[in-house]
Every structure is written in C-alpha cells, then in structure tokens.
Amino acid sequence: MHTVRFNGKTPGTAECDRETALLAASAKAEVPLPHRCGGHARCGTCLVTVVEGGEHLSEKGAAESRVLLALKANSDQRLACQTWARGDVSVNY
Ligand code: FES
C-alpha cells in the first residue's frame, strides 16, 4: 500500500495498493486535477510538480517528454496522466 498526496486548491490523498497513474490517483482522491485531453499526453493540463517521492515514479516516456519540452517544464514536473506511482509520492498541482 502506498499513498499519493495532492497539494493544491482541493488537497487530497489516495491510498493505492498497486502501481497507479497519478491521474487515476487524483480521481480516487477526489482531487479535481485538470485533464483536458483525457489522459492522452496532448494537452499538458495535468502538469504536476513532484515534491516528494520522485524515485517512486515511472520513467518519462517519449510522449510525455515531448509535451514537457513543449511546456518548457522544470525537471521536477510531470504529466499526471503519463506518470505511475509505485510508492509514496507527494505532488503540487
Ligand atoms: S491529460 Fe492531457 S496531457 Fe495529461
């Protein structure tokens, strides 16, 4: 069991018993994380900033890297729809 914590206007926490996409965890936590393209790595609206637990996240794939580059994102920012948590993680949105 691990915890994914979302810090933002509407904070929330999801308890996950398996590897879980951050976007799915946000839904579980009832956090209204934007996701305009429906999780297809096209819009960038699901951008989050990793505060803790970055070592528990999946590697960046090509699609995510392309969007992050277009957004000029910082190295601690990820797309929630393309990032999977395997351990305790805390993000700002
Ligand atoms: S929901 Fe569009 S990039 Fe993640």
Residue range 26-79, pLDDT digits in tens: 999 999 999 999 999 999 999 999 999 999 999 999 999 999 999 999 999 999
What is the rounded distance in angstroms from the CA atom of residue 43 to the CA atom of residue 10?
21
Q: Where are the beta strands (DSSP E) in 23-88?
A: 47-52, 77-79, 84-85
Percent of the chain with pLDDT over 90: 100
Instruction: Report CA(65)–ligand 1 centroid distance (Å).
Output: 12
Segments making up each domain of the chain, as ranges:
2-92
Q: Are 14 and 72 in contact (CB under 8 A)?
A: no
What is the rounded distance in angstroms from the CA atom of residue 88 to the CA atom of residue 43?
26
**pLDDT on residue 72:** 98
Instruction: Report CA(77)–ligand 1 centroid distance (Å).
Output: 13
What is the rounded distance in angstroms from the CA atom of residue 26 to the CA atom of residue 79?
12
CATH class, domain 2-92, is alpha beta
